[in-house]
Amino acid sequence: MATSLAAMAARRTANLSRFTTTGSSAGGASSLIPRRGLAGSADHHGPPKVDCWKDPMNPGNWKEEHFVIVSLSGWGLLFYGGYKLFTRGKKDKPETSAEATK
């Protein structure tokens, strides 16, 4: 337990010494800005993604959100078409004159 307390105190000292300002206030503020050393968001790997209407026959090149929208729309149309196909012949029974007079 004593070693963990010593390690914790050493970490606190290192953090405090990193944030202390020795120069001007502008130089001290820049030390508080987090550095993003491994953030390579500008590096694209593979072919660039395009909109679904620019290359409609190649879904592998579509943007992810366009692929999701087109896929969900297609599945919705498939289920709706199947529903309409299988429920087309089923109609309500026409009312008879005996039931209409009640």
CA distances in angstroms from 37 to 17, 34, 41, 66, 76, listed in the order given: 21, 9, 11, 31, 44
CA distance 90 to 16: 78
Query: Domain spans of the chain?
Result: 49-89
Q: How far apart are CA 9 and CA 5, in angstroms?
A: 6
Q: How far apart are CA 15 and CA 23, in angstroms?
A: 18
- Residue whose C-alpha is closest to residue 62's, from 43, 70, 74: 70
Q: In this predicted model, what pLDDT tens digit does every residue of 23-45 receive, in sequence order?
A: 555 555 666 777 666 665 666 67
> With bands split at pLDDT 50, 70 and 90, how would you rate the model's confidence at 19?
low
- Mean pLDDT value of segment 39-58: 80
